[in-house]
Structure 1
Amino acid sequence: QAVVLAAADPAQPYGAALPWPAVLGDTKHRPARKAGALAVLVDGVPALYVERGGRSLLSFTEDRATLHAAATALSAAVRDGWLGRLQVQKADGERALTSGLAEVLREVGFRATPAGLRLRA
């Protein structure tokens, strides 16, 4: 089961009661309980972190099924109008179009643009 929560939501324990898991990739970005950021939990464990504005994604696992579940939940949040749209430019410190997450994001409806991967409601 995957759920999208605001990173600062009291129901989201990471960064408050529990430490964030290590992120994948070579990036200086780190998850935090910031306004506007999102955490996507799969079975209660962080799978994706969406930085404020949605330009950058961080992942916590390489498990494809987990990433697909998280990306599907994120896609549903956009399509249901909760997020409006996402324009991901970086994923795990790489250009979104060539990142390890690109294929998973495309599978759930993100489309390639010159700036990255975009999903609209």
Structure 2
Amino acid sequence: MSKIAINISPNSPFNKCILLLRRYTGLGITEIKSKIENKDFFAETDANDLDNMENLKELVDNLLKLNANLKIFDSNEYGEGIFNYQEISYNEFINNINRLKEIMEELQDYDDATTDEV
């Protein structure tokens, strides 16, 4: 299972981002500040869950509007429980979401076609 996560640079405008991050993560201010200072991941989500990916996109877009310095990471599983994160661009992130939407649509079309046959 692949995951997507973000981290935020300590140079980001903390005061502007705090409410948005609290709303999305449910973490307290101290925890958020600690994650930013330690360059920990925020909002880690399943890369195959379209709803979660779109929510993460909304968070990323809002953080970018606030001039936050953030990085997006994609993981590839190379064994049970081991994830190796690699930084991806915003465009790659959007392409992942679009590809997931296309797959979901194709699966729905296939499901509709097989249902019609019965």
TM-score, L = length of structure 1: 0.34
Q: Work out which structure has the larger RCO, using CA pairs closer than 8 Å and 6 or more positions apart in sequence.
A: 2
TM-score, L = length of structure 2: 0.34
Q: Hey, which of these two has a bigger chunk of strand by percent?
A: 1
Q: Which has the larger radius of gyration?
A: 2
